Homo-oligomer: A and B are copies of this chain.
Amino acid sequence: MKKEIPYKIYLSESELPYTWCNLRAFMKNKPAPLLDPNTMQPITVDALSKVFCEELAKQELDDTTQYIEIPTEVRDFYKMYRPAPLIRAYCLEKKLGTPAKIYYKFEGNNTSGSHKLNSAIAQAYYAKEQGLKGVTTETGAGQWGTALSMACSYFGLDCNVFMVKCSYEQKPFRREVMRTYGANVTPSPSMTTEVGRKINEQFPNTNGSLGCAISEAVEAASTREGYRYALGSVLNQVLLHQSVIGMETKTALDKYGVKADVIIGCAGGGSNLGGLIAPFMAEKLQGKADYQFIAVEPSSCPTLTRGKYAYDYCDTGKICPLSKMYTLGSGFIPAASHAGGLRYHGMTSTLSELYDQGLMEARSVKQTDVFEAAEYFARIEGILPAPESSHAIRVAMDEAIKCKETGEEKVIVFGLTGTGYFDMMSYEKFHDGKMTDYIPTDEEIEKGLAGLPKL
């Protein structure tokens, strides 16, 4: 007899994963190696260790260990806000009148408001283990900065966040959450770094950019004794830590004998989607099961759907390693969008390679369509989603509506990465009919790609 499926599947503490799933280790054709920007040769652990903690540098380059143990201290922290619920969208199914079964993994039930905390706590732990004083990072919308502040506060580490100046001024509440956790939040460009002073001199009225904030954070980490840099997406280590999302999702589905057909996630740098699909894709790569994977990106920043698979810099300042990835060019400036977390020119190398091999699909969606889905979902399922997460909602709903037409009883699983409490200004624009869509022209895309490094 099949067990009745509750609205929310909560695993017990003992069912929480003991290991992360290292997706790359299951791939026959591995993602291409990161290149050292100084030598253009594959980067070494030693070189990476100057920027990141040593253990994280090792994880960054490890593409053979399939499962990596979650340290007890990290797992203890996970117990404070995990396992995250896997929710059966009974109300949404009913409202849509679809025969599809819809599930979503909800990562928003923690103070950082998103999945970012999964990697922040791991990165803070390894920094503490190495005896560091603190870490530096940048933040745009503020979710990553908040997550890292919380993690550093827990381990008693100093946390220095360079926050893009326009966000610092326009999102004072996010800034205050970070301050509540004891973080030192500096508007970027600042006068505390060389690169910041230079930019302030060149552009006295600049509002800052993520590229500049990254450069400041990296400089601060490398010039201060006992500090390293931490990053919230794109990196292999972040995908690894985020695999806790997929591990829990799989355990929950298995427990109720449910097999997913389609797995959907929004993709900016790609860490949440990479984490969600990790154990499922591992099965697919081993020929144990088949799944359809869909990455959803904003049409304003269509990395997978309109970008090029090539080596590129991960940052605008070109001081970080180069990665082979789908990219719009590190000089591509995405239009202002209400899903700040998806405004990244590239895509993590693992997902890029899987997409290139045809193992994963990609779709781009317009932001007004995304907010329409967000509001619909909020009213039906109760949860107010982040604009980023709502990209996945949009496509999950589209797939469910297709099932209504075909009569297929597909099992659709999507990642609901976070809540939209700090995005109400965007919702307001949507309510007032003032939200517009932006799709870059072919010329704009070509211009970005023309800036790719010649190797």
CB within 8 Å of B: which residues of A? Answer: 6-8, 10, 12-13, 79-81, 91, 109-111, 113, 150, 153-154, 172-173, 176-177, 179-182, 375, 378-384, 419, 421-422, 424-425, 427-428, 431
Contacts and interface: CB of A to CB of B under 8 A. Distances in A.
A454 to B, nearest CB: 47
Contacts of A111: 378, 382-384, 419
A150 B424 contact: no
Given A7-B13, A10-B10, A80-B91, A431 B176 contact: yes
Main secondary structure of the interface of A (DSSP, over half): helix
Contacts of A91: 80, 154
B7 A79 contact: yes
Contacts of A110: 382-383
B431 A375 contact: no
Nearest to A374: B180
Contacts of A181: 378-379
Contacts of A427: 176-177, 179-180
A96 to B, nearest CB: 16
B176 A424 contact: yes
A117 B382 CA distance: 11
A300 B6 CA distance: 44
13 contacts: A6-B12, A7-B13, A8-B80, A81-B382, A110-B383, A111-B419, A150-B382, A172-B428, A173-B421, A176-B427, A176-B428, A177-B421, A180-B427
Given A153-B379, A375-B180, A382-B111, A173 B81 contact: no
Contacts of A425: 172-173, 176
Contact of A379 (B81, B172, B182): B182
Contacts of A421: 113, 173, 177, 421-422
A379 B176 CA distance: 13
A80 B89 CA distance: 9
A422 B113 CA distance: 13
B6 A79 contact: yes
A382 B424 contact: no
A79 B181 CA distance: 32
A180 to B, nearest CB: 5
A136 B91 CA distance: 25
Contacts of A176: 424-425, 427-428, 431
A384 B80 contact: no
A424 to B, nearest CB: 4
A294 to B, nearest CB: 26
Nearest to A384: B111
Contact of A180 (B6, B109, B182, B384): B384
Contact of A79 (B8, B109, B375, B383): B8
